[in-house]
C-alpha cells in the first residue's frame, strides 16, 4: 500500500499548527491542513506490511490498540497517495460514520499500532483521515442518503453523542424511523459541549446534524427523559429504546475544603464556556470567567488539558495542571511494546500554548492535593500539596507514597476537577428498571440488551468512560442488534 519504498524515502511530518500565542486570541481550530502534495507523500509512507495492525481494534495492557471501527486504513492511504480522493472517501465511509470527528479528536490508537511504528514514526493516519472527509464535504461528494423505503418500526435513542448518532445513522439507513432525544439545547452530546471549539469547531458538528436531519432522523432537544417525558411513554410510543446517555457522572474530590466557592467540575466549565460562545460570543456572561485569576486543574487527562486551553483563552493569570502519575518517558519503556498504545511523553496543544504564554509546561507530576483552603468569604484561596513516589510492592502492584519535605502551597482562585467519570447517571436507569453494574448499564457487548424487553444500551453508558471510536463502534453494533430485534 502506498509507495513500496515510501517509508524509507519520506519522513513523517506533523500536522501544521497556528502559532500558539496567536491562536490564544480566538476559539478557532488550532491545526492547519496539509496540502494535497504533502498528504500524498504521507500516504506513500504506508508500507506494504502484509498484516496491518492499525485496524485491529483490541485492548492491550488496558488501553486500545488499533482502530475499534476497523477503518480500512492501508486502502485509503494508498488511494490518497495516488490522488484518488473520491475512492478514498468511499472506503473511509464503509466503516466510519463520522470521520470529521475522529479525524479531529480521536487519540489515534491506529498510529500506535502502525507497523512502521516498530522502528520509525508512524504514518500520519489521523491527519489523512480528516483530510479525506473534509475534501468530501468541500467537493459536494457528501449528500443526503434518503432511505428508499421504511419498515414502519420506530426507535427512540436517548443521548446524541457519538454512540447515539452512529446508532441513529445506521438504523435510519436500514429504513427504521429514528427519534433522538437530547436534554441539552443542541444535539451532539460531548461533541458539542464537552470538547472545546479549538479542537472541534461546532459548525463541523452542526453540519453533520443537518445532514442526518435531511436523511430523516428527528432530533428533539431540551427534553430530559424521566422529567419531560417518562420512560413508560417512550416504551409505549416506540418499538425499541437505546440508552446512549454516556458516562456523565463526574468523579469528585473528597477532601478538606472541597466546599469552597470557586471549585467546579471540568465538564461544567467547558460546557458553559462553549454554550456562551455559541449563544452570544460570551456577551451573555453565562460562563465561568477566570480572567486575571490563578487556575489549578486537578487531573492529568485530555479534559484537564482542555481546561488549561480554555483558561488561557480567558487570559488567566496562571494555570497549573496536577497529575498523580510520574512524567512519561520520551520513548516506549520495555513493558510497553508495540502494538500496545505508546505511553510516552507528548506535548498536547494546550501545553504548547501554556509554554508559549508562561515559559513552561503547566503540568505537575506525582503530586497529591492534601487540602483546599478558603478565604474569609468562603472563596478558594490556596491548595496544599505534597509530592508522591510511585512504588511497586512484592506482588508487583503499584502504590503511591508521600515524600516528606515536599509540601507546597499553591495560590488559586479557581479549581477545576478533571479526574474522570464514575459512570452513567442512575435516575433514568431506575425509571426504566434497567440493571446497572458498577454504575454502568448491565448489557453484554455484542448483544447490548438490558434486562428490560426492547431496551438496549451502548457507548459510555454501557462500557464506561472511553474513546470516541469505541462509542461509534458500539453505536454501529447496537444498531445491528436492534434491527434484528425489530424485524423478527
As a CATH number, domain 154-249+422-486 is 3.50.50.60
Q: Which residue has the cell 468530501?
A: 136
- In this prediction, the residues of the chain whose per-residue pLDDT falls under 70 are 1
302-313 vs 349-358: helix axis angle to the nearest 10? 40
pLDDT attached to residue 1: 63
Which of the listed CATH numbers 1.10.1060.10, 2.40.50.100, 3.40.1010.20, 3.40.30.10 matches domain 6-138? Answer: 1.10.1060.10
Q: Name the E strands within 375-468.
A: 380-392, 398-402, 408-411, 414-417, 421-423, 436-437, 440-441, 455-457
Q: Which CATH class is domain 252-419?
A: alpha beta
- pTM (whole model) above 0.85: yes
Cα 470–chain centre separation: 10
Instruction: Give ranges for CATH 3.50.50.60 in the chain.
Output: 154-249+422-486, 252-419
Q: At 63, which helix (H) or strand (E)?
A: strand 63-65
pLDDT attached to residue 395: 87
pLDDT attached to residue 268: 97
Contact predicate 302/108, CB 8 Å: no
pLDDT digits (tens, 9 = 90+) for 274-314: 999 999 999 999 999 999 999 999 999 999 999 999 999 99
pLDDT digits (tens, 9 = 90+) for 344-387: 999 999 999 999 999 999 999 999 999 999 999 999 999 999 99
Give the chain's largest Cα–Cα span: 72
What nine digits make up the cell of 112? 500506535
pLDDT attached to residue 488: 83
Amino acid at each position: 500500500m502506498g509507495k513500496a519504498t515510501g517509508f524509507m524515502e519520506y519522513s513523517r511530518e506533523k500536522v501544521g499548527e497556528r502559532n500558539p500565542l496567536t491562536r490564544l486570541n480566538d476559539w478557532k481550530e488550532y491545526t492547519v491542513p496539509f496540502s494535497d502534495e504533502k498528504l500524498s507523500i504521507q500516504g506513500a509512507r504506508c508500507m506494504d506490511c502484509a498484516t496491518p495492525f492499525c485496524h485491529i481494534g483490541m485492548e492491550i495492557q488496558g488501553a486500545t490498540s488499533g482502530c475499534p471501527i476497523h477503518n480500512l486504513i492501508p486502502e485509503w492511504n494508498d488511494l490518497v497517495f495516488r490522488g484518488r480522493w473520491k475512492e478514498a472517501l468511499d472506503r473511509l465511509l464503509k466503516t466510519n460514520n463520522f470521520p470529521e470527528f475522529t479525524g479531529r479528536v480521536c487519540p489515534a490508537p491506529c498510529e500506535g499500532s502502525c507497523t512502521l511504528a516498530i522502528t520509525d514514526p508512524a504514518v500520519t493516519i489521523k491527519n489523512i483521515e480528516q483530510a479525506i472527509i473534509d475534501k468530501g464535504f468541500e467537493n459536494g461528494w457528501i449528500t443526503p442518503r434518503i432511505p428508499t423505503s421504511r419498515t414502519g418500526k420506530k426507535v427512540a435513542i436517548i443521548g446524541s453523542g457519538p454512540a447515539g448518532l452512529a446508532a441513529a445513522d445506521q438504523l435510519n439507513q436500514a429504513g427504521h424511523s429514528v427519534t433522538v432525544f437530547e436534554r441539552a439545547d443542541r444535539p451532539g452530546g460531548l461533541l458539542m459541549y464537552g470538547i472545546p471549539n479549538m479542537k472541534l469547531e461546532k459548525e463541523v458538528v452542526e453540519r453533520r446534524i443537518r445532514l442526518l436531519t435531511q436523511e430523516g432522523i428527528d432530533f428533539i432537544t431540551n427534553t430530559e427523559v424521566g422529567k419531560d417525558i417518562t420512560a413508560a411513554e417512550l416504551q409505549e410510543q416506540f418499538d425499541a429504546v437505546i440508552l446512549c446517555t454516556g458516562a456523565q457522572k463526574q468523579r469528585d474530590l473528597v477532601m478538606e475544603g472541597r466546599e469552597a466557592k470557586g471549585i467546579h467540575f471540568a465538564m461544567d466549565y467547558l460546557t458553559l464556556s462553549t454554550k456562551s460562545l455559541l449563544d452570544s460570543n460570551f456577551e451573555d456572561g453565562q460562563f465561568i470567567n477566570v480572567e486575571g485569576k490563578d487556575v489549578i486543574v486537578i487531573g492529568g487527562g485530555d479534559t484537564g488539558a482542555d481546561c488549561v486551553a480554555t483558561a488561557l483563552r480567558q487570559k488567566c493569570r496562571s494555570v497549573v495542571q496536577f497529575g498523580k502519575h510520574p512524567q512519561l518517558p520520551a520513548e516506549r519503556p520495555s513493558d510497553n511494546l508495540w502494538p500496545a498504545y505508546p505511553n510516552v511523553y507528548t506535548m498536547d496543544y494546550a501545553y504548547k500554548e501554556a509554554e508559549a504564554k508562561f515559559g513552561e509546561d503547566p503540568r505537575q507530576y506525582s503530586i497529591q492535593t492534601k487540602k483546599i483552603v478558603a478565604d474569609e468569604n468562603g472563596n478558594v484561596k490556596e491548595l496544599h500539596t505534597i509530592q508522591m513516589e510511585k512504588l511497586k510492592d512484592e506482588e508487583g502492584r503499584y502504590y503511591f507514597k508521600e515524600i516528606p519535605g515536599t509540601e507546597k502551597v499553591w495560590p488559586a482562585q479557581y479549581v477545576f476537577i478533571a479526574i474522570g467519570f464514575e459512570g452513567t447517571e442512575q435516575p433514568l436507569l431506575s425509571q426504566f428498571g434497567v440493571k446497572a453494574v458498577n454504575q454502568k448499564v448491565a448489557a453484554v457487548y455484542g448483544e447490548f440488551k438490558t434486562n428490560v424487553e426492547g431496551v438496549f444500551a451502548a457507548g459510555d453508558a454501557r462500557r464506561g468512560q472511553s474513546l470516541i471510536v469505541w462509542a461509534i463502534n458500539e453505536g454501529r453494533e447496537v444498531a445491528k442488534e436492534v434491527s434484528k430485534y425489530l424485524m423478527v
